[in-house]
Structure 1
Amino acid sequence: MDKLTLINHTMAKGFPWLKFPKPLEADFQGFVRQRVLNRVLPVGISAAIFVLLFCALDWYLLHPRIATHTTIVRIGLVLPIIIIATAWLYFKPPKYYLWVYSTSLLISSLSIIYIIWLAHIQGINLPYEGLMIVMMYGFFIMALPFYLALGINLLVVIIYALTEPLYFLDFATYVNHVLFLTTILISAAIGAYVTEHNQRANFLRKRTLDIHHEKTLHSIKQKNKYLAAASHDIRQPLQGITLMGEVLKKSQPDNKHIQSLNQGIQTLNTMFTQMLDISKVNLNLIQPKMDSFSLIDLIEQNTQSFLPRLNKMNIELKIHIEPCHIRSDFTMLSRILHNLLENAISHSKCNEITISSKTVNHQVELTIIDNGSGISKSIHTSIFNEFIKGNESQDGLGLGLAIVSQFCQKLAHPLAFHSEHGATRFSITIPEVLDHIDGDSPNNIKPKILLIDDDPDVLSNITALLNQWGYDVSCVTGIQHAKHNLNKDWFCIISDWNLADGCGEEIVKYANENKTPSILISTHASDTITTCAKRYNSFFLQKPISPSRLRAKLINIK
């Protein structure tokens, strides 16, 4: 019987004796332990205060000789036990924590009985309110299990009844005291029983929710794994298409057909990436990969696809970016910029968008401003929540700005927002990278790159791209071929993970041993591959490779 079935069976059958089947009872006792230990400190402090308060009352109500005796009991015995038990349970609770906890309660109760008895033999009719207080502590404040609290308090009432000196009290008074405490005991026990029964019922409900939540997360993770596996065969041809489009754009920058082709490729890449990543956002599976790269490159990369649409809608795009390098995650920051531009174009009814930057104290403030109708004040406080849309935004799900906010939090980039009619402003603060060294070498000496991949199309496309960037590229198709060339002075070694005659781990391991920078590429981003990259100080890029991310990795090599 699985745990969920066991819970449903227990709830249907009931638990009048406050006991669960063994697997559930073990879980509940763990819950009780945490609940007790969470309140140890406030319980111990309040109990110590009560001891000191009753000590003061002794001096007010009793003869000084008796007050001296009771003070010794309270300050010399009870208070140290409370302090020791509280400190022990708070700082290093043992497995038998309930024995320590309940023993301190029992000793406190017995000390009160002793003090009442001591007062009575001196002819002083001391009230028994102290016993009522410790009884409430045992049943409710200390959160002891019901049967343990009932046993201790029942024992205390019996001891009180047996030690109450009949020869100093008339029988009617004696019976009145004992019956009153017994009534308090029964009333408190009923209340404690109902309280623990409700706690157990709530515990079962919470465990049911937890199990359903765990199953839901497991189901989502399985679907994500399936989606990632299915995407493997799509990534490889998409990689080739992306790189070929980039090469064509460089060779024929004014060709409108090539521009349209690249716009479609970029849109396809964006949609495909979103399809894989959006389900991971709420599962916290997307983690930043911090690089340093040119802010101008970031802006150019992410505004090109919008230009035809901007021209068609007669929206003027103004860019005022200071030349600088920043440290961030290129992909996540690109998504942020894309969503902000998309929001301005689709919903603001503007005719001008300005992207600008300024650097203050090595912090770059990137700002996107539109001159549209503004965002309704009624949603200013919730604009970054999921599924929030203004009255003018009928399309979409209202997730764009929520993703912007979540990504900025993950990147630790402060995000600011201000909107009124005629101006909506989003500002992101990003750390500046100082003393950045570009990948291109001076004196016209081309940095040498060794490229290892068994796919001829990938070799051809990446080589063409690297040649355009000013690198001298040597291509090999496998590990055996690469080993004959590894001992040369390479600026960087780029290797695929899956090679026909082995694994790229051998390549990046050799590069690390010879202090040569390396980049590991693969269609998968498994833990094995990313761990290998970290172990050998290699960069990792997942196919399809973004030219800008590849460029950022190369210019980050010093």
Structure 2
Amino acid sequence: MKQQQLTDQAERGFRSLRFEPELEGLFRRRRIDAMRERAYPVAVSALALFFFYAFLDYATFPARLSEWTIPVRLLVTCPVFAAVLVIRRWRPAYFPPFYAFSYLWGGLSLVLLIGIARDLAVPMPYDGILLCLMFGYFLMGLSCRTATFISSAIVVSYVAMEWRMGTPSEKILYNSFFVVTAHIIGIVGAWLQEYSQRAHFLDSLQLELAREQAEAESRRKTRFVAVASHDLRQPLHVINLLLANLNGPLGQQEQRRIFDQLGSSVDHLNHLLESLLDLSRLDEGMVKPVLESVNAVELMRRVAGELQEAAEASGVTLEVSDADALYVKADSVLLRRILHNLVQNALQHAQCRRVKLSCHARGNRVILDVRDDGIGISREDQRRLFEPFVQGGTTPLAERGLGLGLAIVQQLTLLMGGHCQLHSAAARGACFSVILLGARAPGAMAVDVVRVSPVAAEDIRVWVIEDHVESRRWVARLLEQWGYCPSCFSSAEEALAAEGSGSPDLAIVDIHLGAGLDGRACLERLRQRIGTLPAILVTADTACRQGFAPDSQTWLLHKPLSAPRLRAAISRLMAKEDVPVAP
């Protein structure tokens, strides 16, 4: 049972006292269990009443009437009530219909007793009928429909019996008025009772589902702690060992090898942390897709270009099929992450020689395929492949991730209204497909061309506004290595007060600067003072959308910063060619 089913049912309501088939079957099974529980006190009380009335018949009725009513009560009606107690325990499958039959049998036996009294011209009230109706509507726990149908049959039988015995019309109308009135009140009461039972049933299911989800989440977090603590410690362990080796006497070649390995371990650690942050944001509902018309072919070429170097290092040929432009309704940032994860997954785990990206239209959908010619995936592994923390068993331990890549792919695809498919077999490669709604090509946009004059790196003044001492120092050191001229400031106020430092050509600003102005406000003040200022905003808050805003010439990058990404952002902002900028 899913939460959405329960929510939809609650929104639709159930005034007709019917759920959707799956819920209705479950509710009936629980109602039958409840009827079996209450059948014992109901049957025992009914037996006690009939024995008591048999004694009253003996004590108050003439002998010619009691010699009929007592056998009917004790030999005709009471055995059926006693049978309820037996069938309730020993024949559960026959219990529901027999339980309803016992109610009808008891009502008709009362009609028979009143009929006998009328035939013998002995006054007998119809109060027993009212008591029987109360049992059916409120005490026995029958469904409203069943109780209404059987009670109607009892009332009709009573009225027909009075008419058949020649009871005066006025008396029939008088008695029928009270019996039918009680019948109507019983119907309303039974409807209200069942409605409240159904509402309580939905609430209890939602509570059960919430409890199960909480327990599953607890188990998932326990597993997360176990997996993450192990896999995050592995690159940290390697980093510690490499740093320890740097203290010894090493040649230049050995130092270079250790530095390369340090960089690889740090990149691996960054990748693990990014995956954890992505999964956390998805679980908390913090990712909100901005759907637009995206050229899927062009995006595939961009992703292939970004991963071309990694593919060549792994000895894999990375291809993008030549195809006409196909547009999908998607968030370009999220779709890029999906394709990036799928290609990276193939490079790391498929043991393949070739990875091909392609897309084609099918009806109103566009299918984006990432296909490899690797070892394939067995049917057993395919069932769990999109679950979090499922890792590739053939991947070397030092290169494994947390097993979150495909889980993130699936959740991001669902956010954009699509779904994922996998076609694979052992030793026959794998094809991951992302299926999204097609879109029309966007209208041509007018663009302005901003001409940027060539500027030497040493002539570019870069302001680094960062409140963390070490971050500020090492960003400045990188900028110096790349040939730029950095100036460092520890707060927005210090940067705004720097009259003698000249105007910057580029600003690298941490959004969260502690006390005082934040990075955005600082950048706005600088732009008010000096005009156009390209900038890179840096933040550890992954809720902020990472990317480039061409209208303001601003990059937003997440911490931890990677040197290649920072340098690429600076190169684009300080472009030495004509840059088209969307208005």
- Scaled by the length of structure 1, the TM-score of the pair is 0.46
**Greater length-normalized contact order (CA 8 Å, ≥ 6 residues apart):** 1
- Scaled by the length of structure 2, the TM-score of the pair is 0.45
